[in-house]
Structure 1
Amino acid sequence: LGLYFVNYLLRPVRQLADSARMLAAGELGARVHMTGDPDLDPLAVTFNSVADALESRLAREQRFSANVSHELRSPVTSVLGTAELLETRSGELPAREAGLVTVLAQQVRRLAQVLLDLLEISRINPETPPQWESVNIKQLCVECARHRGFDESLVHGDEVTIRTDARRVERVVGNLMENARTHAGGVVRVQVLAQFDAVQVLVDDAGPGVPEELRERVFEPFHRGSGNLGREGAGLGLAIARDQAMNIGGDITITNSPEGGARFIAQFPTHEASS
Protein backbone atom coordinates (compact mmCIF):
# COMPACT_ATOMS: atom_id res chain seq x y z
CA LEU A 1 0.00 0.00 0.00
CA GLY A 2 2.85 2.37 0.84
CA LEU A 3 4.47 1.71 -2.55
CA TYR A 4 1.18 2.51 -4.28
CA PHE A 5 0.93 5.90 -2.61
CA VAL A 6 4.59 6.69 -3.38
CA ASN A 7 4.01 5.89 -7.05
CA TYR A 8 0.82 7.94 -7.03
CA LEU A 9 2.60 10.94 -5.57
CA LEU A 10 5.55 10.64 -7.94
CA ARG A 11 3.44 10.24 -11.08
CA PRO A 12 3.23 14.01 -11.82
CA VAL A 13 6.98 14.35 -11.25
CA ARG A 14 7.65 11.52 -13.70
CA GLN A 15 5.31 13.15 -16.21
CA LEU A 16 7.26 16.41 -15.91
CA ALA A 17 10.56 14.57 -16.37
CA ASP A 18 9.23 12.65 -19.39
CA SER A 19 7.98 15.84 -21.02
CA ALA A 20 11.34 17.52 -20.43
CA ARG A 21 13.13 14.60 -22.09
CA MET A 22 10.73 14.74 -25.06
CA LEU A 23 11.31 18.48 -25.46
CA ALA A 24 15.07 18.02 -25.29
CA ALA A 25 14.80 15.35 -28.00
CA GLY A 26 13.08 17.80 -30.32
CA GLU A 27 9.41 16.97 -29.73
CA LEU A 28 8.29 20.57 -29.47
CA GLY A 29 4.67 19.64 -28.82
CA ALA A 30 5.50 18.07 -25.45
CA ARG A 31 3.44 19.59 -22.63
CA VAL A 32 2.65 18.75 -19.00
CA HIS A 33 -0.99 18.23 -17.99
CA MET A 34 -2.39 19.84 -14.87
CA THR A 35 -3.08 17.47 -12.00
CA GLY A 36 -4.67 19.81 -9.46
CA ASP A 37 -1.62 19.54 -7.21
CA PRO A 38 -0.99 23.02 -5.72
CA ASP A 39 2.76 22.41 -5.60
CA LEU A 40 3.30 20.81 -9.01
CA ASP A 41 0.82 22.75 -11.14
CA PRO A 42 2.89 25.96 -11.03
CA LEU A 43 5.85 23.93 -12.34
CA ALA A 44 3.65 22.59 -15.13
CA VAL A 45 2.53 26.11 -16.04
CA THR A 46 6.15 27.33 -16.15
CA PHE A 47 7.27 24.32 -18.20
CA ASN A 48 4.45 24.76 -20.71
CA SER A 49 5.18 28.49 -21.03
CA VAL A 50 8.85 27.77 -21.77
CA ALA A 51 7.86 25.09 -24.30
CA ASP A 52 5.41 27.49 -26.01
CA ALA A 53 8.06 30.20 -26.23
CA LEU A 54 10.64 27.77 -27.62
CA GLU A 55 8.25 26.40 -30.23
CA SER A 56 7.23 29.91 -31.27
CA ARG A 57 10.83 31.12 -31.54
CA LEU A 58 11.92 28.15 -33.65
CA ALA A 59 8.92 28.65 -35.93
CA ARG A 60 9.89 32.31 -36.40
CA GLU A 61 13.47 31.36 -37.19
CA GLN A 62 12.31 28.80 -39.75
CA ARG A 63 10.06 31.37 -41.43
CA PHE A 64 12.90 33.89 -41.46
CA SER A 65 15.32 31.40 -43.05
CA ALA A 66 12.73 30.42 -45.66
CA ASN A 67 11.88 34.05 -46.51
CA VAL A 68 15.50 35.18 -46.77
CA SER A 69 16.47 32.15 -48.87
CA HIS A 70 13.50 32.66 -51.18
CA GLU A 71 14.22 36.36 -51.68
CA LEU A 72 17.90 35.74 -52.41
CA ARG A 73 17.40 32.86 -54.84
CA SER A 74 16.57 34.97 -57.90
CA PRO A 75 19.47 37.45 -57.66
CA VAL A 76 21.93 34.68 -56.79
CA THR A 77 20.71 32.65 -59.78
CA SER A 78 21.32 35.66 -62.01
CA VAL A 79 24.81 36.19 -60.61
CA LEU A 80 25.56 32.47 -60.99
CA GLY A 81 24.51 32.53 -64.64
CA THR A 82 26.78 35.48 -65.34
CA ALA A 83 29.70 33.93 -63.44
CA GLU A 84 29.39 30.62 -65.27
CA LEU A 85 29.20 32.44 -68.61
CA LEU A 86 32.43 34.24 -67.76
CA GLU A 87 33.92 30.92 -66.66
CA THR A 88 33.28 29.36 -70.08
CA ARG A 89 35.32 32.19 -71.63
CA SER A 90 38.06 32.29 -69.02
CA GLY A 91 40.51 30.93 -71.59
CA GLU A 92 40.32 34.27 -73.36
CA LEU A 93 41.29 36.19 -70.21
CA PRO A 94 44.71 36.86 -68.68
CA ALA A 95 45.75 34.26 -66.10
CA ARG A 96 45.03 36.45 -63.07
CA GLU A 97 41.54 37.46 -64.23
CA ALA A 98 40.77 33.89 -65.27
CA GLY A 99 41.65 32.69 -61.78
CA LEU A 100 39.41 35.32 -60.21
CA VAL A 101 36.51 34.27 -62.44
CA THR A 102 36.98 30.62 -61.45
CA VAL A 103 36.95 31.50 -57.75
CA LEU A 104 33.89 33.71 -58.24
CA ALA A 105 31.96 30.93 -60.00
CA GLN A 106 32.90 28.41 -57.30
CA GLN A 107 31.80 30.68 -54.47
CA VAL A 108 28.52 31.66 -56.13
CA ARG A 109 27.73 27.96 -56.74
CA ARG A 110 28.41 27.33 -53.07
CA LEU A 111 26.11 30.20 -52.07
CA ALA A 112 23.36 28.89 -54.33
CA GLN A 113 23.62 25.45 -52.69
CA VAL A 114 23.53 27.00 -49.21
CA LEU A 115 20.30 28.80 -50.11
CA LEU A 116 18.75 25.57 -51.38
CA ASP A 117 19.78 23.79 -48.17
CA LEU A 118 18.37 26.60 -46.03
CA LEU A 119 15.08 26.37 -47.90
CA GLU A 120 14.95 22.63 -47.39
CA ILE A 121 15.83 22.69 -43.70
CA SER A 122 13.22 25.40 -43.07
CA ARG A 123 10.57 23.29 -44.81
CA ILE A 124 11.28 20.05 -42.95
CA ASN A 125 8.21 19.54 -40.83
CA PRO A 126 7.63 16.45 -38.67
CA GLU A 127 3.89 17.02 -39.05
CA THR A 128 4.08 16.50 -42.83
CA PRO A 129 2.99 12.88 -43.38
CA PRO A 130 5.54 10.60 -45.09
CA GLN A 131 4.74 9.26 -48.55
CA TRP A 132 4.76 5.56 -47.70
CA GLU A 133 5.63 3.10 -50.45
CA SER A 134 7.43 -0.21 -50.89
CA VAL A 135 11.14 0.47 -51.35
CA ASN A 136 14.04 -1.88 -52.01
CA ILE A 137 16.66 -0.14 -49.88
CA LYS A 138 19.70 -1.66 -51.58
CA GLN A 139 18.39 -0.76 -55.03
CA LEU A 140 17.64 2.77 -53.82
CA CYS A 141 21.26 3.06 -52.59
CA VAL A 142 22.57 1.82 -55.96
CA GLU A 143 20.45 4.39 -57.82
CA CYS A 144 21.51 7.11 -55.38
CA ALA A 145 25.17 6.28 -56.00
CA ARG A 146 24.71 6.32 -59.78
CA HIS A 147 22.80 9.60 -59.85
CA ARG A 148 25.45 11.31 -57.73
CA GLY A 149 28.41 10.05 -59.71
CA PHE A 150 29.62 7.30 -57.36
CA ASP A 151 30.67 3.80 -58.41
CA GLU A 152 27.69 1.46 -57.97
CA SER A 153 30.04 -1.32 -56.82
CA LEU A 154 30.47 0.58 -53.53
CA VAL A 155 27.00 -0.67 -52.49
CA HIS A 156 26.76 -4.06 -50.80
CA GLY A 157 24.47 -5.90 -48.42
CA ASP A 158 21.01 -7.33 -48.02
CA GLU A 159 18.16 -7.16 -50.49
CA VAL A 160 15.38 -5.89 -48.24
CA THR A 161 12.11 -4.16 -49.10
CA ILE A 162 10.27 -2.05 -46.55
CA ARG A 163 7.50 0.52 -46.52
CA THR A 164 9.08 3.93 -46.12
CA ASP A 165 9.37 7.36 -47.73
CA ALA A 166 11.74 6.80 -50.67
CA ARG A 167 12.44 10.49 -51.22
CA ARG A 168 13.53 11.03 -47.64
CA VAL A 169 15.64 7.86 -47.51
CA GLU A 170 17.36 8.89 -50.76
CA ARG A 171 18.07 12.32 -49.28
CA VAL A 172 19.57 10.77 -46.16
CA VAL A 173 21.81 8.32 -48.02
CA GLY A 174 22.77 10.89 -50.65
CA ASN A 175 23.77 13.48 -48.07
CA LEU A 176 25.90 10.94 -46.19
CA MET A 177 27.69 9.99 -49.41
CA GLU A 178 28.19 13.64 -50.37
CA ASN A 179 29.54 14.38 -46.89
CA ALA A 180 32.09 11.58 -47.29
CA ARG A 181 33.14 12.89 -50.70
CA THR A 182 33.42 16.53 -49.63
CA HIS A 183 34.87 16.23 -46.14
CA ALA A 184 36.31 12.74 -45.62
CA GLY A 185 38.28 11.61 -48.65
CA GLY A 186 35.43 9.77 -50.33
CA VAL A 187 33.11 6.82 -49.82
CA VAL A 188 34.79 3.49 -49.07
CA ARG A 189 31.70 1.31 -48.78
CA VAL A 190 27.91 1.50 -48.46
CA GLN A 191 26.32 -1.52 -46.82
CA VAL A 192 22.64 -2.40 -46.26
CA LEU A 193 21.92 -4.54 -43.20
CA ALA A 194 18.50 -6.03 -42.41
CA GLN A 195 17.80 -6.06 -38.65
CA PHE A 196 14.85 -7.54 -36.75
CA ASP A 197 12.89 -4.29 -36.62
CA ALA A 198 15.00 -1.92 -38.70
CA VAL A 199 17.16 -1.55 -41.78
CA GLN A 200 20.57 0.05 -41.47
CA VAL A 201 22.56 1.78 -44.21
CA LEU A 202 26.24 2.01 -43.25
CA VAL A 203 28.35 4.60 -45.06
CA ASP A 204 32.09 4.20 -44.44
CA ASP A 205 34.40 7.04 -45.45
CA ALA A 206 38.14 7.43 -46.00
CA GLY A 207 38.62 10.25 -43.52
CA PRO A 208 40.30 10.36 -40.11
CA GLY A 209 37.09 9.53 -38.25
CA VAL A 210 34.96 11.67 -35.96
CA PRO A 211 36.05 12.06 -32.30
CA GLU A 212 33.44 10.74 -29.90
CA GLU A 213 32.93 14.15 -28.28
CA LEU A 214 31.96 15.65 -31.68
CA ARG A 215 29.60 12.93 -32.88
CA GLU A 216 26.49 14.87 -31.92
CA ARG A 217 27.80 18.33 -32.80
CA VAL A 218 28.40 17.40 -36.44
CA PHE A 219 24.62 17.19 -36.91
CA GLU A 220 24.12 20.79 -35.79
CA PRO A 221 23.35 23.23 -38.64
CA PHE A 222 26.43 25.08 -39.92
CA HIS A 223 28.85 22.93 -37.94
CA ARG A 224 32.11 22.47 -39.84
CA GLY A 225 35.16 20.75 -38.42
CA SER A 226 38.44 22.63 -38.19
CA GLY A 227 39.87 20.43 -40.92
CA ASN A 228 37.14 21.49 -43.35
CA LEU A 229 37.95 25.18 -43.56
CA GLY A 230 38.19 26.25 -47.18
CA ARG A 231 36.21 23.28 -48.46
CA GLU A 232 32.83 23.45 -50.12
CA GLY A 233 29.67 23.12 -48.07
CA ALA A 234 28.10 25.13 -45.28
CA GLY A 235 27.56 22.40 -42.72
CA LEU A 236 23.87 21.76 -43.46
CA GLY A 237 23.99 18.38 -45.18
CA LEU A 238 24.20 16.23 -42.06
CA ALA A 239 21.59 18.33 -40.23
CA ILE A 240 19.17 17.83 -43.13
CA ALA A 241 19.97 14.11 -43.28
CA ARG A 242 19.26 13.53 -39.60
CA ASP A 243 16.05 15.60 -39.67
CA GLN A 244 14.79 13.64 -42.67
CA ALA A 245 15.67 10.32 -41.00
CA MET A 246 13.94 11.27 -37.76
CA ASN A 247 10.81 12.36 -39.63
CA ILE A 248 10.27 8.76 -40.73
CA GLY A 249 11.11 7.28 -37.34
CA GLY A 250 14.81 6.73 -37.96
CA ASP A 251 18.08 8.28 -36.85
CA ILE A 252 21.76 8.59 -37.75
CA THR A 253 24.64 7.69 -35.48
CA ILE A 254 28.42 7.66 -35.92
CA THR A 255 31.00 5.10 -34.96
CA ASN A 256 34.45 4.00 -36.14
CA SER A 257 34.70 2.17 -39.44
CA PRO A 258 36.72 -1.05 -39.73
CA GLU A 259 38.22 0.65 -42.80
CA GLY A 260 39.80 3.27 -40.55
CA GLY A 261 37.53 6.26 -41.12
CA ALA A 262 34.09 7.14 -39.79
CA ARG A 263 30.99 5.00 -40.18
CA PHE A 264 27.66 6.82 -40.46
CA ILE A 265 24.78 4.51 -39.62
CA ALA A 266 21.36 5.52 -40.93
CA GLN A 267 18.63 3.43 -39.36
CA PHE A 268 15.09 3.20 -40.68
CA PRO A 269 12.23 1.34 -38.98
CA THR A 270 10.91 -1.75 -40.70
CA HIS A 271 7.35 -1.58 -41.93
CA GLU A 272 6.23 -4.73 -43.68
CA ALA A 273 6.07 -4.05 -47.41
CA SER A 274 2.83 -4.81 -49.18
CA SER A 275 3.08 -7.63 -51.64
Structure 2
Amino acid sequence: MDALLDKIRAGLLHEQQLTRELSHELRNPLARIVAEVDWWRTRPRSSEETRYSLAVVEDAASSMRTICDTLLDEAQGAASTHRGPADVHAALVRLAGPRTTSSAVTLRIAPPIGRLMAAAPAAIVERAVSPLLENALRYAHSQVTVVARLEAAGIRIEVTDDGPGVPPWFAPQLFHPGRRAELGDGHTGAGLGLSLARRLARSADGDVHHDASHREGTRFVVTLPTA
Protein backbone atom coordinates (compact mmCIF):
# COMPACT_ATOMS: atom_id res chain seq x y z
CA MET A 1 0.00 0.00 0.00
CA ASP A 2 2.84 2.43 0.84
CA ALA A 3 4.48 1.72 -2.51
CA LEU A 4 1.19 2.35 -4.31
CA LEU A 5 0.64 5.63 -2.46
CA ASP A 6 4.20 6.72 -3.27
CA LYS A 7 3.58 5.97 -6.95
CA ILE A 8 0.33 7.94 -6.93
CA ARG A 9 2.01 10.83 -5.14
CA ALA A 10 4.87 10.88 -7.65
CA GLY A 11 2.40 10.86 -10.54
CA LEU A 12 0.47 13.79 -9.10
CA LEU A 13 3.65 15.79 -8.51
CA HIS A 14 4.76 15.10 -12.07
CA GLU A 15 1.42 16.31 -13.44
CA GLN A 16 1.53 19.44 -11.29
CA GLN A 17 5.06 20.22 -12.46
CA LEU A 18 4.08 19.73 -16.10
CA THR A 19 1.07 22.04 -15.67
CA ARG A 20 3.23 24.76 -14.11
CA GLU A 21 5.82 24.48 -16.86
CA LEU A 22 3.24 24.61 -19.64
CA SER A 23 1.72 27.71 -18.05
CA HIS A 24 5.17 29.28 -17.75
CA GLU A 25 6.15 28.62 -21.37
CA LEU A 26 2.79 29.54 -22.90
CA ARG A 27 2.68 32.91 -21.17
CA ASN A 28 4.83 34.81 -23.71
CA PRO A 29 3.15 33.68 -26.97
CA LEU A 30 -0.26 34.18 -25.38
CA ALA A 31 0.72 37.72 -24.38
CA ARG A 32 1.79 38.38 -27.99
CA ILE A 33 -1.63 37.28 -29.25
CA VAL A 34 -3.50 39.44 -26.72
CA ALA A 35 -1.28 42.48 -27.41
CA GLU A 36 -1.68 42.12 -31.18
CA VAL A 37 -5.48 41.80 -30.96
CA ASP A 38 -5.66 44.82 -28.63
CA TRP A 39 -3.49 46.85 -31.03
CA TRP A 40 -5.60 45.81 -34.02
CA ARG A 41 -8.81 46.90 -32.26
CA THR A 42 -7.63 50.40 -31.33
CA ARG A 43 -8.43 51.90 -34.75
CA PRO A 44 -9.29 50.81 -38.30
CA ARG A 45 -6.39 49.01 -39.94
CA SER A 46 -5.29 48.72 -43.53
CA SER A 47 -5.30 45.37 -45.30
CA GLU A 48 -1.52 45.21 -44.98
CA GLU A 49 -1.62 45.91 -41.24
CA THR A 50 -4.34 43.29 -40.79
CA ARG A 51 -2.26 40.71 -42.65
CA TYR A 52 0.70 41.55 -40.43
CA SER A 53 -1.39 41.14 -37.27
CA LEU A 54 -2.72 37.80 -38.47
CA ALA A 55 0.82 36.65 -39.23
CA VAL A 56 1.93 37.56 -35.69
CA VAL A 57 -1.05 35.71 -34.18
CA GLU A 58 -0.39 32.69 -36.41
CA ASP A 59 3.28 32.61 -35.42
CA ALA A 60 2.43 32.85 -31.71
CA ALA A 61 -0.19 30.10 -32.02
CA SER A 62 2.32 27.90 -33.84
CA SER A 63 4.82 28.55 -31.04
CA MET A 64 2.22 27.51 -28.45
CA ARG A 65 1.58 24.26 -30.32
CA THR A 66 5.32 23.53 -30.50
CA ILE A 67 5.70 24.22 -26.78
CA CYS A 68 2.85 21.85 -25.92
CA ASP A 69 4.15 19.10 -28.21
CA THR A 70 7.72 19.45 -26.93
CA LEU A 71 6.89 19.42 -23.22
CA LEU A 72 4.36 16.61 -23.55
CA ASP A 73 6.79 14.49 -25.59
CA GLU A 74 9.51 15.10 -23.00
CA ALA A 75 7.14 14.19 -20.17
CA GLN A 76 6.28 10.93 -21.94
CA GLY A 77 9.92 10.13 -22.68
CA ALA A 78 9.47 10.56 -26.42
CA ALA A 79 11.64 13.66 -26.86
CA SER A 80 14.82 11.61 -27.16
CA THR A 81 13.53 9.48 -30.05
CA HIS A 82 14.19 12.27 -32.58
CA ARG A 83 17.82 13.37 -32.85
CA GLY A 84 17.63 16.16 -35.39
CA PRO A 85 19.73 17.43 -36.96
CA ALA A 86 18.82 20.99 -36.04
CA ASP A 87 20.44 24.15 -37.39
CA VAL A 88 21.36 25.87 -34.12
CA HIS A 89 21.81 29.39 -35.51
CA ALA A 90 18.49 29.23 -37.37
CA ALA A 91 16.78 28.08 -34.16
CA LEU A 92 18.31 30.97 -32.20
CA VAL A 93 17.29 33.56 -34.80
CA ARG A 94 13.77 32.13 -34.88
CA LEU A 95 13.59 32.21 -31.09
CA ALA A 96 14.84 35.79 -30.81
CA GLY A 97 12.70 37.10 -33.67
CA PRO A 98 9.36 37.65 -31.88
CA ARG A 99 10.87 38.87 -28.63
CA THR A 100 10.51 42.46 -27.58
CA THR A 101 13.15 44.31 -25.61
CA SER A 102 13.06 47.62 -23.80
CA SER A 103 14.55 50.58 -25.64
CA ALA A 104 17.56 50.38 -23.32
CA VAL A 105 18.40 46.73 -24.06
CA THR A 106 20.06 45.46 -27.25
CA LEU A 107 19.77 41.78 -28.20
CA ARG A 108 22.54 40.41 -30.41
CA ILE A 109 22.70 36.95 -31.97
CA ALA A 110 26.32 36.49 -33.02
CA PRO A 111 26.85 35.03 -36.52
CA PRO A 112 28.11 31.43 -36.42
CA ILE A 113 31.44 30.19 -37.74
CA GLY A 114 30.35 27.47 -40.13
CA ARG A 115 27.13 25.50 -39.84
CA LEU A 116 26.27 24.27 -36.36
CA MET A 117 24.08 21.17 -36.52
CA ALA A 118 22.89 19.68 -33.22
CA ALA A 119 21.81 16.10 -32.67
CA ALA A 120 18.56 17.30 -31.12
CA PRO A 121 15.13 18.48 -32.28
CA ALA A 122 15.01 22.18 -33.16
CA ALA A 123 12.16 22.55 -30.64
CA ILE A 124 14.39 21.22 -27.86
CA VAL A 125 17.13 23.70 -28.81
CA GLU A 126 14.64 26.58 -28.71
CA ARG A 127 12.92 25.53 -25.49
CA ALA A 128 16.26 24.95 -23.70
CA VAL A 129 17.55 28.41 -24.66
CA SER A 130 14.24 30.29 -24.30
CA PRO A 131 14.17 30.59 -20.47
CA LEU A 132 17.82 31.71 -20.45
CA LEU A 133 17.10 34.40 -23.03
CA GLU A 134 13.95 35.47 -21.20
CA ASN A 135 15.88 35.89 -17.93
CA ALA A 136 18.72 37.73 -19.66
CA LEU A 137 16.35 40.24 -21.26
CA ARG A 138 14.57 40.68 -17.95
CA TYR A 139 17.69 41.56 -15.94
CA ALA A 140 20.07 43.13 -18.49
CA HIS A 141 21.05 46.76 -18.11
CA SER A 142 21.85 47.39 -21.77
CA GLN A 143 22.87 44.27 -23.71
CA VAL A 144 22.19 40.57 -24.19
CA THR A 145 24.43 38.50 -26.42
CA VAL A 146 23.88 34.95 -27.68
CA VAL A 147 26.92 33.14 -29.10
CA ALA A 148 27.01 29.59 -30.48
CA ARG A 149 30.20 27.78 -31.44
CA LEU A 150 31.65 24.34 -31.97
CA GLU A 151 33.89 22.81 -29.31
CA ALA A 152 35.54 19.42 -28.93
CA ALA A 153 32.72 18.24 -26.66
CA GLY A 154 29.92 19.48 -28.95
CA ILE A 155 28.02 22.72 -29.51
CA ARG A 156 28.22 25.47 -26.89
CA ILE A 157 25.56 28.20 -26.71
CA GLU A 158 26.28 31.14 -24.40
CA VAL A 159 23.56 33.56 -23.27
CA THR A 160 25.19 36.57 -21.61
CA ASP A 161 23.73 39.73 -20.10
CA ASP A 162 25.25 42.76 -18.37
CA GLY A 163 22.80 42.73 -15.48
CA PRO A 164 23.48 42.45 -11.74
CA GLY A 165 24.55 38.81 -11.89
CA VAL A 166 23.64 35.87 -9.68
CA PRO A 167 24.14 36.39 -5.94
CA PRO A 168 26.82 33.89 -4.80
CA TRP A 169 24.61 32.61 -2.00
CA PHE A 170 21.86 31.73 -4.50
CA ALA A 171 24.01 29.91 -7.07
CA PRO A 172 23.47 26.42 -5.55
CA GLN A 173 19.69 26.90 -5.82
CA LEU A 174 19.57 28.21 -9.41
CA PHE A 175 18.18 25.04 -10.95
CA HIS A 176 15.74 24.15 -8.17
CA PRO A 177 12.14 24.55 -9.45
CA GLY A 178 10.24 27.46 -7.93
CA ARG A 179 13.28 29.24 -6.45
CA ARG A 180 14.03 32.93 -7.02
CA ALA A 181 16.80 35.01 -5.49
CA GLU A 182 14.75 38.17 -4.87
CA LEU A 183 10.96 37.83 -4.79
CA GLY A 184 10.53 41.59 -4.50
CA ASP A 185 12.86 42.63 -7.32
CA GLY A 186 10.05 44.00 -9.48
CA HIS A 187 10.32 41.23 -12.08
CA THR A 188 7.76 38.55 -12.82
CA GLY A 189 8.73 34.90 -12.93
CA ALA A 190 7.92 31.65 -11.21
CA GLY A 191 11.45 30.27 -10.97
CA LEU A 192 10.66 27.36 -13.31
CA GLY A 193 12.58 28.28 -16.45
CA LEU A 194 16.10 27.18 -15.50
CA SER A 195 15.10 23.75 -14.25
CA LEU A 196 13.01 23.19 -17.38
CA ALA A 197 15.86 24.33 -19.66
CA ARG A 198 18.29 21.92 -18.01
CA ARG A 199 15.88 18.98 -18.15
CA LEU A 200 15.12 19.53 -21.83
CA ALA A 201 18.80 19.86 -22.72
CA ARG A 202 19.59 16.67 -20.81
CA SER A 203 16.81 14.84 -22.67
CA ALA A 204 18.96 15.40 -25.78
CA ASP A 205 22.20 14.34 -23.98
CA GLY A 206 23.17 17.98 -23.45
CA ASP A 207 23.17 20.20 -20.38
CA VAL A 208 22.70 23.73 -19.03
CA HIS A 209 24.92 25.36 -16.45
CA HIS A 210 25.72 28.75 -14.94
CA ASP A 211 29.20 30.06 -15.81
CA ALA A 212 30.36 31.26 -12.40
CA SER A 213 33.67 32.46 -13.86
CA HIS A 214 31.89 35.22 -15.80
CA ARG A 215 31.94 38.30 -13.58
CA GLU A 216 30.34 41.11 -15.61
CA GLY A 217 26.67 40.17 -15.42
CA THR A 218 25.38 36.63 -15.94
CA ARG A 219 26.25 33.89 -18.40
CA PHE A 220 24.40 30.63 -18.89
CA VAL A 221 25.70 27.90 -21.17
CA VAL A 222 23.79 25.26 -23.11
CA THR A 223 25.77 22.31 -24.46
CA LEU A 224 24.39 19.95 -27.10
CA PRO A 225 25.84 17.02 -29.05
CA THR A 226 26.69 17.55 -32.69
CA ALA A 227 24.81 15.73 -35.43
- Shorter-chain TM-score above 0.5: yes
**Matching residue of 2:15:** 63
How many residues are matched? 184
The match for 1:208 among 151, 155, 164 is 164
1:122-271 equivalences in 2 (<5 Å): 124-125=74-75, 127-130=77-80, 131-149=82-100, 153-159=108-114, 160-185=116-141, 187-226=143-182, 229-256=185-212, 260-271=216-227
Give the secondary structure class of the aligned counterpart of 2:120: strand
Aligned residues: CA RMSD = 3.8
Q: TM-score, normalised by structure 2?
A: 0.64
Counterpart of 1:219 in 2: which secondary structure? Answer: coil
Q: Where does 1:89-104 land on structure 2 (aligned, <5 Å)?
A: none
Aligned residue identity for 1:248: A
Going by fraction, where is helix more abundant, 1 or 2? 1
Q: Call closer, same or farther: CA 1:127–1:187 in 2, change over 3 Å.
A: farther
Aligned to 2:55: none
Q: Aligned partners of 2:100, 2:142: CA distance in 1, in Å?
A: 12
CA distance in 1: counterparts of 2:149 and 2:172, whole angstroms:
23
How big is each residue's C-alpha offset from its partner over 1:197-252, in whole Å with a ceiling of 9 and x where there is no partner? Answer: 31110000121221344234122222112165331221122222111111111111
Q: Is 2:180–2:191's contact at 8 Å kept on the other side of the alignment? A: yes
Query: What one-letter code is carried by the residue in structure 1 that aligns with 2:86?
Result: V
Instruction: Answer whether contact 1:168 1:245 (CA < 8 A) is retained.
Output: yes
How far apart, in 2, do the equivalents of 1:129 and 1:140 lie? 17
1:113 aligned partner? none
Measure, in 2, the Cα distance between the counterparts of 1:270 and 1:173: 16
- Offset of residue 258 of structure 1: 5.2
Letter in structure 2 aligned against 1:234: A
CA shift, 1:260, in A, is 0.8
SS in 1 for 2:216: coil
Contact 1:121–1:240 (8 Å) recurs in 2: no
Runs of 5+ unmatched residues, structure 2: 43-66
Tell me how far 1:59 sits from its aligned partner. 2.0
Deviation at 1:148, TM superposition (A): 2.2
Is the 8 Å Cα contact of residues 92 and 109 (structure 2) preserved in structure 1? Answer: no
Could you tell me which amino acid in structure 2 is paired with residue 154 of structure 1?
I
CA shift, 1:180, in A, is 0.7
Structure 1 residue 67: Cα displacement: 7.0
CA distance in 2, matches of 1:176, 1:68: 17
- Structure 2: how far apart are the matches of 1:187 and 1:173? 17
Q: Aligned partner of 1:128: which letter? A: A
Letter in 2 for 1:232: T
